[in-house]
Amino acid sequence: MQFTSVAQVAGLDFDTIIDVRSPSEFAEDHIPGAINLPVLDDDQRARVGTIYKQVSSFDARKIGAALVAQNSARHLTEALADKPGGWRPLVYCWRGGQRSGSFATILRQVGWRAELVEGGYKTWRKLVVEACGAPMPGPVVVLDGNTGTAKTDILKAAAAQGAQVIDLEGLANHRGSLFGAMAGGQSSQKDFESRLVRAIAALDPARPVLLEAESSKIGDLQLPSGIWAAVRSAPRIRLRAPLSERAAYLARAYGDITTDPARLTAVIDKLRPFQPAERIERWLAQAQAGDFTTLAGELMRDHYDQRYEKHRRRHAFDEQVIDAPSLAPEAIEALAAQVIAQSERAIREPAASPGQG
């Protein structure tokens, strides 16, 4: 099997995609949808490599073959025990060499129609790198707004209403700010890119796609050059909402932090290089007292809003403005509908959209 595009990989017609690389290789990145059935685990792979370098290639191959046979036998009696005669697996390793070839041979001997990925994982990675540097396939509209304007929730509601949306923060598992870490942590850069380019490949290029305004990094993950170029140059819809509404929204949306006092205190402490000591102490006192709405409001007024406005002054965006008097949960659906309508208008009339400013 030869891969020629990310879209082709997304539409593969196999019962199971099997990655036979070691668990650490699989954890860093893999073809989306693949399961990991390693024919050499991390310790075994290191051991065979050491023998290859320090003893001989023959001894390494002999010991490696024995380990591959043992692990393959275990997979046959455990993970693959219930597979029927017509099961069609696609198998790959790092570069389509001995590990995947050995396992596919065993599967074929059983009677299954196993196929190999030509060039292995390296072929997939090459496609991902190329896609990351390519322009977005269709028109992009960016949803912008100061911290706390419910951009993520509005985009989720827009997607539920049929809009094309790529949830960058969801793919990165990070909300994009100092307070943005999420449960489970972030994956590797390679894994992020793999999932992102697959989402891009699924887009209809004739329709606009909505993205949330981001910096070049989301947490520790870097936006690929193609999508970052789109974020910087696309027309924008800017949400404006009263500080009180934004503070109430943040207090709700960041419940995972407000229920973890030690984590909240640690994040506030990271702001010391940017804020006066007395302000930091007041914020810590508010956190300890559970006054999260007041804390959120002051964080935005005295920290995030100032940085946002400084960024805006450096860039001239083509934008429309939506004023949101309420960010209560019941208001999100209507705001999403407005964003969809404005995004379609921004693509049709990029230089004459009302409300630009």
The total of structural domains in the chain comes to 2
- The reported pLDDT for the residue numbered 344 is 93
Most distant CA atoms of the chain, gap in Å: 74
Structural domain includes residue 357: no
- The reported pLDDT for the residue numbered 357 is 39
Structural domain includes residue 355: no
Residue where a domain stops, chosen among 74, 100, 131: 131
Same domain, residue pair 104 and 216: no
Same domain, residue pair 184 and 276: yes
Same domain, residue pair 163 and 41: no
- The reported pLDDT for the residue numbered 309 is 83
Same domain, residue pair 111 and 174: no
CATH code for the domain in which residue 111 is found: 3.40.250.10
Q: Average pLDDT in the 303-326 region?
A: 85
Q: Does the active-site annotation cover 132?
A: no
Measured in whole angstroms, how far is the alpha carbon of residue 243 from the centre of its chain? 29
The 10s digit of each residue's pLDDT in 42-96 is: 999 999 999 999 999 999 999 999 999 999 999 999 999 999 999 999 999 999 8
Torsion region of 37: left, alpha or beta (phi above 0 gives left; psi -120 to 50 gives alpha): beta
Query: Distance between CA atoms of 12 and 193, rounded to whole angstroms?
Result: 19
Same domain, residue pair 165 and 282: yes
Secondary-structure percent of the chain, ordered helix, strand, coil, rounded to 5:
55, 10, 35
CA torsion 202-205-210-211 (nearest 10°) is 70
Name the residue type at position 283.
Answer: W
Q: How confident is the model at residue 333 (pLDDT cuts 50, 70, 90)?
A: very high
Query: Distance between CA atoms of 175 and 249, rounded to whole angstroms?
Result: 14
Nearest to 131 by CA among 16, 213, 32: 32
Give the phi and the psi of residue 100 in degrees, each rounded to 5: -70, -35
Answering whether pTM is above 0.85, one says: yes
- The reported pLDDT for the residue numbered 263 is 93
Q: How far is CA 307 from CA 19, 265, 299, 324, in A?
A: 45, 21, 11, 21
Same domain, residue pair 230 and 125: no
Same domain, residue pair 168 and 270: yes
Q: Cβ distance 103 to 36 under 8 Å?
A: no
Could you give the percent of the chain with pLDDT greater than 70? 97
Range of the domain at 140: 136-348
Structural domain includes residue 1: no
Is the pLDDT reported for residue 352 higher than 50? Answer: no
The 10s digit of each residue's pLDDT in 157-200 is: 999 999 999 999 999 999 988 888 898 999 999 999 999 999 99
Structural domain includes residue 353: no
CATH code for the domain in which residue 199 is found: 3.40.50
User: Which one of the listed residues 9, 31, 37, 93 is annotated catalytic?
Assistant: 93
Same domain, residue pair 126 and 155: no
